[in-house]
């Protein structure tokens, strides 16, 4: 009788497939450090943003307390406590809320950059640029933009500076409405 031992797997042997789905020690440590960093980032957020996040009361209180600590060692201990609290909760809703806030911020910055480019283009090329703008944004108020453009061009005066700012704001609102 011939036994094939190489195909058999004995319990507890190194060849036993890992049925335990726990993360490795290093992965668990990386996750704990990421949660610690996320918790510490909450300390620096503006109060209005912090108020809008889905935080458990205990964590919210710990973050508020950390904002008022001046001692380095006390702040370090408070940050460790915040990290400990972060490991006890589901941090995904907090991450998602912060990511949504970041995406909104990026979209606003992108709109501001587009408005700046159009303002500069209008100031440099005048009516030709205005025609391109109206082609791209058909609902643009051609007459209002032309008036602002006239006021914004010319020598640097308080009136022209105000007109440039108003031109930028008008372009930003127009681009936001079109988005």
CATH number at residue 50: 1.10.60.30
> In total, how many domains does the chain have?
2
Residue 10: is it exposed, middle or buried by C-beta count within 10 angstroms (0-12/13-18/19+)?
Answer: exposed
The model's pLDDT over 95-127, given as tens digits with 9 standing for 90+, comes to: 999 999 999 999 999 999 999 999 999 999 999
Neighbours of 72 (CB within 10 A): 8
Calpha distance 72→78 (Å, rounded): 10
Q: What is the pLDDT of residue 154?
A: 80
Average pLDDT over residues 154-159: 87
Residue 16 forms part of a structural domain:
no
Residue 78 forms part of a structural domain:
yes
What DSSP string runs through 26-38? HHHHHHHHHHHHH
Mean pLDDT of the chain: 87
Is residue 11 over pLDDT 60? no
Domain coverage including residue 132: 104-178
Q: What is the pLDDT of residue 19?
A: 52
Is residue 131 over pLDDT 90? yes
Residue 156 forms part of a structural domain:
yes
Q: What is the pLDDT of residue 8?
A: 47
Tally of residues, the chain = 179
Same domain flag for 84 and 119: no
Same domain flag for 80 and 120: no
Calpha distance 171→167 (Å, rounded): 6
Task: Tally the C-alpha atoms within 13 A of residue 143's C-alpha that lie toward its C-beta.
Answer: 0
């Amino acid at each position: 009788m011939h036994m094939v031992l190489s195909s058999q797997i004995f319990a507890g042997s190194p060849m036993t497939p890992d049925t335990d789905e726990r993360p490795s020690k290093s992965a668990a440590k990386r996750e704990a450090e990421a949660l610690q960093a996320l918790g510490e980032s909450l300390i620096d957020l503006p109060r209005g943003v912090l108020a809008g996040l889905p935080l458990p009361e205990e964590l919210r209180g710990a973050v508020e307390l950390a904002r008022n600590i001046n001692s380095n060692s006390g702040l370090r201990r408070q940050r460790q406590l915040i990290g400990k609290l972060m490991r006890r909760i589901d941090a995904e809703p907090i991450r998602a809320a912060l990511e949504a806030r970041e995406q909104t911020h990026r979209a606003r910055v992108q709109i501001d950059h587009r408005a700046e480019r159009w303002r500069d283009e209008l100031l440099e090329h005048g009516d030709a640029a205005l025609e391109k703008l109206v082609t791209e944004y058909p609902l643009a108020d051609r007459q209002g933009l032309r008036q602002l453009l006239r006021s914004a061009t010319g020598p640097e005066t308080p009136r022209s500076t105000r007109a440039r700012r108003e031109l930028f704001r008008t372009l930003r609102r127009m681009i936001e409405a079109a988005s």
